[in-house]
Amino acid sequence: MGKKFGEIEIGGIFGGYEIINKAGNNLPQDVASAVGIVNSGILGATYQPIFYVGKQLANGENHFLICEEIRSTKSRGKMIVGLIINIPPGEGSIRGEGAKVVNIIEEADFSPEIQAAFDTAEKQLVGVSYKPIAYVGSQVVRGANHYFICEAKGIYPGAEPYAALVAVNVFEGNASIVGILPIKGTTQEEQTLFGYAFNW
C-alpha cells in the first residue's frame, strides 16, 4: 500500500522513485553525507535540504530532494529547487562517497492541460507567487485535485522563497486552489504538523 496525502495515493513509486518523505533535517546518513560532499564540490552555491522525496535505482541510487539553493551572486540569491544526487554503488556508498549532482530542477514540465490548470488557479491568488518544482500526483474528488511542490514567494522586495505543497482542483473546466501547505520540517513541532498534514 502506498503512502497518502489525505486520500491521494502517491507511493510506493512516483516517477520511478520509491517515496521516502522525510524532513530535510532527518535524512538517512548516506544522503546527508552525499549532500555535504556535493556542497563542498560546488562553487557559488550551497543546497539546504527541506524535504527528501525519494530514491531510485540508477547505477547506485538517485536521491530526489527539495532544497533551498543559496547562490553567492546577488542576482540569484535564494531559490527552491529539486536536487537529484547520485550515490554510486560500492563500499563507500553508505558514506555518500562519489556523490554527484544529476539534475537541478528549477521549474518542472507538466502536460499542457495540467500546466494550464495550474496557471489559471495561480492567477487567482494575490500577494504570493507559486512556481511548480514537482508534480506529486492527483486525487479523484469533485473533479480532480492535482498536487504540486512549489517555490512560494511573496510579491514584495526582499521576499524570501519557501517550499509549499499546493492543491489545485479542476472541475468542469474550472481550476482553483483548494489548499496550500508550507513545507518546513525544521523543528519538532513543524515535523509533527508536517507528518499529520500529510497523513504519512
Within 8 A by CB and 6+ apart from 176, the residues are 121, 124, 168, 169
* Structural domains of the chain, ranges and CATH numbers in brackets: 4-105 (3.10.450), 112-198 (3.10.450)
Q: What is the pLDDT of residue 199?
A: 32
Residue type, 3: K
The whole-angstrom separation of Cα 132 and Cα 80 is 10
CB–CB of 85/100 below 8 Å? yes
In the predicted model, residues of the chain with pLDDT beneath 70 are: 1-16, 74-76, 185-200
For 147, other C-beta atoms within 10 Å of its C-beta total 20
For residue 199, with 0-12 CB atoms within 10 Å meaning exposed, 13-18 middle and 19 or more buried, which class applies? exposed
Q: What is the pLDDT of residue 74?
A: 65
Q: What is the pLDDT of residue 15?
A: 60
CB–CB of 101/88 below 8 Å? no
Q: What is the pLDDT of residue 198?
A: 37
Q: What is the pTM of this model?
A: 0.79
Dump pLDDT digits (tens) for 82-128: 999 999 998 888 888 899 999 898 888 878 888 999 999 999 888 99
Q: Tell me, what DSSP letter sits at residue 95? A: G
Give, in degrees to the nearest 5, the angle at Cα 130 between 124 and 135: 110
What does each C-alpha distance from 21 to 44, 55, 136, 173, 198 come to in angstroms?
28, 10, 12, 32, 9
Q: What is the pLDDT of residue 148?
A: 86
Q: What is the pLDDT of residue 75?
A: 66
